[in-house]
Amino acid sequence: MREGRALRLFCLPYSGASAMTYSRWRRSLPAWLQVRPLELPGRGMRMGEPLQSDIRPLARQLADEISAELDGPYALFGHSLGGLLAFELAHALRERGLPEPLALFASGTAGPARRDVSEYAVAKTNEQLIERLRELNGTSEAVLANAELMDMMLPILRADFLLCGSFSHDRRAPLPLPIHVFGGKQDSIRAEQLLDWQADTSRAFSLDMFDGHHFFLHQQEAPLLRCLRRYAEQHLTRWRQQQVRQAHG
């Protein structure tokens, strides 16, 4: 791609994860697509901050935190809970009158309009959390059997599930930006649930499916990043062309 302004990609983690989830992506993506993982309170470099369990206040907090970084083209990416949080972040940014993202990438998460979050509305026990991790096929039995690791991970996972359970769709205007959705062919989240994202955009929509279960973003990292890069390049090219037109009046 020709030299020019880079596109910043803010990445939101899935339940129980930290910003480190996306650190590998920096080595796999070109310089014009800058990966900017967002760390949530209570984990990683923000371990000393309290965990949060209400998704809208968290989205507003994140919007305030990144507001100074929105001086150029950017997009939002989130997997599972991260996709839902990216959606709320896009709305929080819009409410504040801040520059809007060129696109929203939602991975492994059902569309907001008809999703049922009642399963996550009440705090789960350690046993229920561990069973859910087994169902998602993303955590080895060795990790699940490590009491020290579980003592660190389960409180974060419990709070993140409550974040999901606090979501309500409400009646808000569709976002005026493209939404690109990624799904796993063997995931329990069905294609029709992923297609529900169409209701929340007034612009372009796409759905790409990859082999794998819920954590296909790890299993199919290379093809997923190729797909993400293709969409990002299209949006950045259009943004650059618009800047040229505006500059020439």
First to last CA, the chain: 25
Catalytically active residues, by annotation: 80
Q: 3-class SS at 60?
A: helix
Q: How do the pLDDT tens digits run along the chain, 249 residues long?
A: 555 689 999 999 999 999 999 999 999 999 999 999 999 999 999 999 999 999 999 999 999 999 999 999 999 999 999 999 999 999 999 999 999 999 999 999 999 999 999 999 999 999 999 999 898 877 889 989 999 989 999 999 999 999 999 999 998 999 999 999 999 999 999 999 999 999 999 999 999 999 999 999 999 999 999 999 999 999 999 999 999 988 886
Strands (E), the chain: 7-12, 33-37, 74-79, 104-107, 179-184, 205-210
Contact 51, 41 (CB under 8 A): yes
In 88-203, beta strands by DSSP E: 104-107, 179-184
Task: Note the pTM of the prediction, 2 decimals.
Answer: 0.95
Give the DSSP letter of residue 119.
G
